[in-house]
Structure 1
Amino acid sequence: MIIRIFTATVPSELHLEFEAKFKEISVPLVKNQSGLLGLEIAKPTQWNPNSYVMISKWAAENDLVRFAGENWNEAHIPSGMEKYIEECSVNHYLDIPI
C-alpha cells in the first residue's frame, strides 16, 4: 500500500471558498479512482493556520499512475483549484503492517 500525503497552503481569505471547491472538485476526483483504499481530508488548526491536507491510500503504484500520470510523485492540482493554492507538496510512503 502507498500512502499519499498532499498538503496545500491556502490564504486565509480563501478558506471557505476553497473548502467548498475541495469537496466539490478534488474529493470526488480522487474517490472515483480505482485502487483507492481510503481518503481523509483535514483543515487548518491554530498551529498550521493555512494548511490543508489530503491523505489517500492506494493499493499499488500503477493505481497512482492511472490517477496522476507518470509523474505521480508530483502534486496533481485539478482544473479550477489552481487559484486557491499558494504552495503545495506531495509525499509518498509505503505502509508498515502492524
Structure 2
Amino acid sequence: MIMRIFQVVVRPGKEAEFSNFFHEMAIPLMKGTPGIVSVLPGAPRADSPREFSFVMIWENLDALKAFVGEDYQSPHIDPAEAELVESRTIRHYDLVET
C-alpha cells in the first residue's frame, strides 16, 4: 500500500474559504475515491493556522495513478482551490503495517 501525504498552506485571509472547500468538497471526494483504503484529513492548529493536510492510504500505485494520472508525484490541486493556496507539497511512502 502507498501512503500519500498532501499538505497545503493557504494564502493569508483565505483560511475560512479554504476550510469550507476542504470540509464540503475535498474530504467527501477523497473518501469516495476508488482505491483509497483510508483518508485522514488534518485541519489547522493554533501554531499553524494556514496549514491543511491529508494522509491517504492507497491500495497500490496503480489505484493512485488512476486518480491523479502518471504524474502522481506532483501535488495536483482542484481549480476551485488554486487561488486559495499559497503552496503545496506531496510525499509518498510504502506503508509499513504493524
TM-score by length of 2: 0.90
| 1:44 counterpart residue number | 44
Q: Which structure 2 segments of 5+ residues have no match?
A: none
Counterpart Cα distance in 2 of 1:35 and 1:83: 28
Structure 1, unmatched stretches of 5+, are none
Give, in angstroms, the shift of residue 55 of structure 1.
Answer: 1.0
TM-score normalised by length of structure 1? 0.90
Q: How far did 1:37 drift?
A: 0.4
The residue number in structure 1 matching 2:6 is: 6
Shift of 1:7: 0.4
Q: How does 1:12-91 map to 2 (within 5 A)?
A: 12-91=12-91
* Letter of the 2:45 counterpart: T
Q: What is the count of residue pairs matched by the alignment?
A: 98
Measured after TM superposition, the shift of residue 32 of structure 1 is 2.3
Give the CA RMSD over aligned residues. Answer: 1.3
| Offset at residue 70 of structure 1 (A) | 0.2
Work out the percentage of aligned pairs sharing the same amino acid. 27
Q: Secondary structure at the match of 1:34?
A: coil
